[in-house]
Structure 1
Amino acid sequence: MLASTLILIALLCAGVLIPVGYSEMSPGPTVNTLGDARGEPVLRISGRKTYPTKGNLNMTTVRVTGADYEMNIVEAVYGWLAHDSVVVPHDTLYPDGKTEEESTQENAEEFSQSQESAKVAALEELDIPVSSRIVVSTVIKGSPAQGKLHAGDVIKAVDGAPVKEPQDVAAHVTRHKPGEDVAFTIVPAKEAAAAEKAGRQPRSTRKIVITTEKAPKENRAIVGIRAGTDHTFPFEIDIELADVGGPSAGLMFSLGIIDKLTPGSLAGGTFVAGTGTIDDEGTVGPIGGISMKLVGARDAGARYFLTPDDNCAAATSDIPSGLTLVRVKTLDDARKSLDRIRAGDTAGLPSCSAG
C-alpha cells in the first residue's frame, strides 16, 4: 500500500509539473454593439443623424491561454472533460512558434482592419458613398523601399499604370526582374492627410524610383512594401472596445452601425448575438472557436445566433439549448434575417445544417 501511495503521489506530481503542448479555449465575454463597454459607447457616430436603438446585437469572443502558458496534463484532462472549454494543440493557436506579443500585435491589426471593413460594408449597404485610395500600409525594415516610401503614402500609379486595387501594386512590381527599377507615382502621406482635412484633392504627385531585389526563397522581384486600401468616410464612426482582437466581430459591428443610422430597431428588441468576419463588399467569412462563442452567447441570454455559412457544420454539432442558429453569407442576409426576427416570422429563417 505504501508503494502504491508513493507511485500515486509521484504520478500526481508529474501531472502537475510536466507541461504538455496544449492550449485551452473557453467562452469569452459578449458585448452589445448597441450599448456601452466600460462606461463608453461601443459605437459613436457624429456628423450624421442617428436613431435610438433597443435590444442586443452582441459580438462574441473566445478566451485563450497565452502563448507562454505551459499547460500541465491535469489541466489538459480537465479541459477535455469540461463542456464549456476546448483543449487544442498549442500550434493551433500559435503557429510557427509565434510569441504572445506577436500574436497580440497581429490580433490588434486584424481587429483594426475589421473595424474599417465593417464601416465600409455598413455604409455601402445603406447606399452611402465611401471613397477609397490605395496606400502603402507597411514598409519592411531593410528593404529597398525603406526611406523612399512611407506608411500612408497614396499610390496613384506604378510604372505609369494606374492602380485600383492593392494587388495591382504587386502585379506591376513582379513584372520586373530583381535588380530592375520600378517607378511609383505617389502622394506623400502628409500631403494626402492635409488635403483630406481641407476637403480637397492633393495638388501634386511625386515620382519615386526604387530598385527591386529578389524575394527571399523566391525568384521574383520585390520592393518591400505591403499595399492596402484607405477609406474616407462622409462622417465620423468610432468603434471603441478594449482588450479585443481579431477580425471576427466585423459582421456585428456592421449591423450595429446600420441599426444606429436607420429608424427603428433591426431585431425589434430581441437578444441576437453573432460572429463572422466581413469584407468591404459585405461578404461574411468564417471564424475560429465557434462552439465557445455559442456557449458564451447562450449564457449571456441570446435567443438567436448569426452564424457564418462556413461555420454551420461545426456549430450544429453541439447547439446550446434555447439558442437558434441563423445561417448568413452576406450582410444583406443578416439584415433580412433580422427583419424576420423583428416581425416574428422566424419559421422562414435560414438555418444551419450539419452537411
Structure 2
Amino acid sequence: MIVLVLDQIPPDDPADDPRPRDAEEPGEGSPVPRPTPRAVVQSFGMLAASVLVGVLAVMPAPYAVNGPGPTRDVLGEVDGEPLIEVEGAPTYPSTGELRLTTISGVGGPGYPAYALNVLRGWISPSSVVRPVEDVYPQDVSREEIDESNAGLMVSSQENATVAALVELGYEVPATLVVAGTVEGTDADGKLEEGDVLTAMDGVALPDYQTLVGRLADVAPGDTVTLTVTRHARSEDVSVVTSEREGGGAQIGVFIDPSFDMPVDVRINIEGIGGPSAGTMFALGLVDLLTPEDEAAGVVIAGTGTIDVTGAVGPIGGIRQKLAGAVRDGAAWFLAPADNCDEVVGHVPDGLRVVEVATLRDAREAMVAIGAGDADDLPTCTAG
C-alpha cells in the first residue's frame, strides 16, 4: 500500500530535512545494490519456467485428447430455425429437451495436440488421452476425415428418419440396390453391383424391413431364391446363406437402399459429424410427430448409432458424453446397451443412465421418464 501524506512538503534545503541521513539514498550517481544470489536464482527460475510454458504451448505432442463436447437439443432451434423440420405431417410442441451429445478433441491430422493440451487432459477426470495412432488413421488427411464424418452424419439422419417413421407406423418403400458382395460368400460372383432385389422365395421386398424380417426366418446355410432386376430384366438367383457376425443368416451382399419418404424431414445441424446422434434424431422425430408431450419438461440426453430397423449401436467417447450431458443440465441419459461396460463406475453425480438397445426401448424410456414412472427402467450393470 502507498500512503501519500499531502500536508507534509519536503523542505527546499536538504539541510533542513529532518529525515535521518545515516545511509546514502540511492539516486542518480549512486551505486546500484548488487542482487543477492537468492534473487538471481529466483529470476533465472522464473525465466526458465516462462520459457518452458512457452515451449509447451507450441510443441506438438503425439497424443489425441478428447473431452466433453457441446450438446444440442434436437427439439430446439439452431440459429432461429428448428433443428428438425418436418413437412407433410403435423408436429406438436414439447416442454422437455432431448439432447444429443458429442465429444471435442485435438490431435490427428490438421488439429495437433500440444503438450499443454495433453497435461490438461491428464488432469481432467472427464478427458481421455491416447496415442494419436490409436484414434486416427495416419495415412489420411484432415479433409478426408471430415468428409467421412460428414457422410456418416448424412447416413445417420436418413437411418433415423426411416426408423422413426416405421416406429410410428408409416410405410417407407425402398429400392434395394446391391452395392457389392462379401468376398467368400456364395453371393460373390452370383449377384452384381446394380442388381435390385425385388423378392425372396417369391415374397415381394417392398422395403428394407421386409428383407430383414425374411432373413430372420432363415438359418445360416439355407438356400434362398432371390429375384433381382438386372439390366431391365428379372432373374432368379439361388444363394446359400452364411452366418453374419452377431448371429443370424446373411445373403452376403451390401445393400444401398433408396427410400421413398412419406414425410419430408430436414435436420439442420452443422459442425458435428459421425453417426452417433442417430438415436436422438430418431427419438426427437418420434416426439415431434406425436401429440403427447413425452419428455414433459425433463432434460434427457443420449447417444447411439441407429439403423433403419431401429437397432441402437455403440459409439465412442461415452464417458465424455456423460460428463457433457450433466454439465448441460441433463438428469437422464440413454446409453447403448453395447456401451454399458464403459458406463459402469463412471456415471457423474446427478445423472441416471438407462440402457437401450432399440428405438422402441428409447421411446418407452422417454415416456416413462416424462411420466415420472422411471424407477424400473433398466440401467447399465457390470458385464
Q: Which amino acid aligns with 1:20?
A: A
CA drift at 1:271? 0.8
Distance in 2 (CA, whole Å) between partners of 1:34 and 1:121 is 17
Of residues 268, 280, 284 in structure 2, which corresponds to 1:240? 268
Of residues 99, 112, 118 in structure 2, which corresponds to 1:58? 99
Q: Note if contact 1:156-1:162 (Cα within 8 Å) is conserved in structure 2.
A: no
Q: Which residue of 1 aligns with 2:342?
A: 314
Distance in 2 (CA, whole Å) between partners of 1:32 and 1:233 is 24
Give the secondary structure class of the aligned counterpart of 2:370.
helix
Distance in 2 (CA, whole Å) between partners of 1:10 and 1:241 is 42
Distance in 1 (CA, whole Å) between partners of 2:165 and 2:117 is 46
Which runs of 5 or more residues in structure 1 are unaligned? 139-148, 168-183, 188-204, 208-224
CA drift at 1:227? 5.1
Greater mean deviation of Cα atoms: 105-114 or 264-273: 264-273
Equivalences for 1:200-239 in 2 at 5 Å?
Answer: 205=232, 228-239=256-267
Give the secondary structure class of the aligned counterpart of 2:333.
strand
Q: Note if contact 1:91-1:97 (Cα within 8 Å) is conserved in structure 2.
A: no
Greater mean deviation of Cα atoms: 14-23 or 52-61: 14-23
CA drift at 1:237? 1.1
CA drift at 1:117? 0.6
Distance in 2 (CA, whole Å) between partners of 1:38 and 1:137 is 38
Distance in 1 (CA, whole Å) between partners of 2:141 and 2:359 is 34
The superposition leaves residues 62-107 of structure 1 with CA deviations (integer Å, 9 ceiling, x where unpaired) of 1122522332333312211123322222123312432211110010
For the aligned residue pairs, the C-alpha RMSD in angstroms reads 3.2
- Relative distance call for 1:163 and 1:87 in structure 2 (3 A) is farther
Distance in 2 (CA, whole Å) between partners of 1:9 and 1:58 is 42
Equivalences for 1:153-172 in 2 at 5 Å?
Answer: 155=196
CA drift at 1:10? 7.3
CA drift at 1:338? 1.6
TM-score normalized with structure 1 length: 0.72
Q: Note if contact 2:178-2:197 (Cα within 8 Å) is conserved in structure 1.
A: no
Q: Which residue of 1 aligns with 2:307?
A: 279
Q: Note if contact 1:135-1:229 (Cα within 8 Å) is conserved in structure 2.
A: yes
Distance in 2 (CA, whole Å) between partners of 1:309 and 1:53 is 27
CA drift at 1:235? 1.9
Q: Taking every aligned residue pair, what percent have the same amino acid on both sides?
A: 39
CA drift at 1:14? 5.6
Give the secondary structure class of the aligned counterpart of 2:64.
strand
The count of aligned residue pairs is: 290
Q: Which residue of 2 aligns with 1:120?
A: 162
Correspondence 1:80 to 2:108? no
Q: Which residue of 2 aligns with 1:91?
A: 133
- Relative distance call for 1:340 and 1:185 in structure 2 (3 A) is closer
- Relative distance call for 1:52 and 1:19 in structure 2 (3 A) is closer
Of residues 39, 59, 68 in structure 1, which corresponds to 2:110? 68
Q: Which amino acid aligns with 1:324?
A: R
Correspondence 1:337 to 2:337? no
Q: Which residue of 2 aligns with 1:266?
A: 294
Of residues 83, 102, 107 in structure 1, which corresponds to 2:149? 107
Greater mean deviation of Cα atoms: 314-323 or 296-305: 314-323
Distance in 1 (CA, whole Å) between partners of 2:178 and 2:77 is 34
The superposition leaves residues 192-220 of structure 1 with CA deviations (integer Å, 9 ceiling, x where unpaired) of xxxxxxxxxxxxx389xxxxxxxxxxxxx
Q: Which residue of 1 aligns with 2:76?
A: 35
Q: Which residue of 2 aligns with 1:293?
A: 321
Q: Note if contact 2:280-2:303 (Cα within 8 Å) is conserved in structure 1.
A: yes
Distance in 1 (CA, whole Å) between partners of 2:274 and 2:318 is 14
Q: Which amino acid aligns with 2:290?
A: T
Which structure is higher in helix share? 1
Q: Which amino acid aligns with 2:68?
A: P
Q: Note if contact 2:340-2:382 (Cα within 8 Å) is conserved in structure 1.
A: yes
Distance in 2 (CA, whole Å) between partners of 1:9 and 1:30 is 36
Q: Which amino acid aligns with 1:275?
A: T
Give the secondary structure class of the aligned counterpart of 1:347.
coil
CA drift at 1:339? 2.1
Distance in 1 (CA, whole Å) between partners of 2:71 and 2:336 is 17
CA drift at 1:156? 5.5
Distance in 2 (CA, whole Å) between partners of 1:297 and 1:105 is 27
Which runs of 5 or more residues in structure 2 are unaligned? 1-40, 181-191, 213-227, 235-252
Q: Note if contact 2:294-2:371 (Cα within 8 Å) is conserved in structure 1.
A: no
- Relative distance call for 1:232 and 1:351 in structure 2 (3 A) is same
Q: Which residue of 2 aligns with 1:354?
A: 382
Give the secondary structure class of the aligned counterpart of 1:305.
strand
Q: Note if contact 1:156-1:186 (Cα within 8 Å) is conserved in structure 2.
A: no
- Relative distance call for 1:345 and 1:72 in structure 2 (3 A) is same
- Relative distance call for 1:64 and 1:137 in structure 2 (3 A) is farther
Greater mean deviation of Cα atoms: 328-337 or 80-89: 80-89
Q: Note if contact 1:114-1:250 (Cα within 8 Å) is conserved in structure 2.
A: yes
Q: Note if contact 2:277-2:303 (Cα within 8 Å) is conserved in structure 1.
A: yes
Greater mean deviation of Cα atoms: 294-303 or 310-319: 310-319
Give the secondary structure class of the aligned counterpart of 1:228.
strand
Give the secondary structure class of the aligned counterpart of 1:78.
helix
Q: Which amino acid aligns with 2:258?
A: D
CA drift at 1:269? 1.9
CA drift at 1:137? 6.7
TM-score normalized with structure 2 length: 0.67
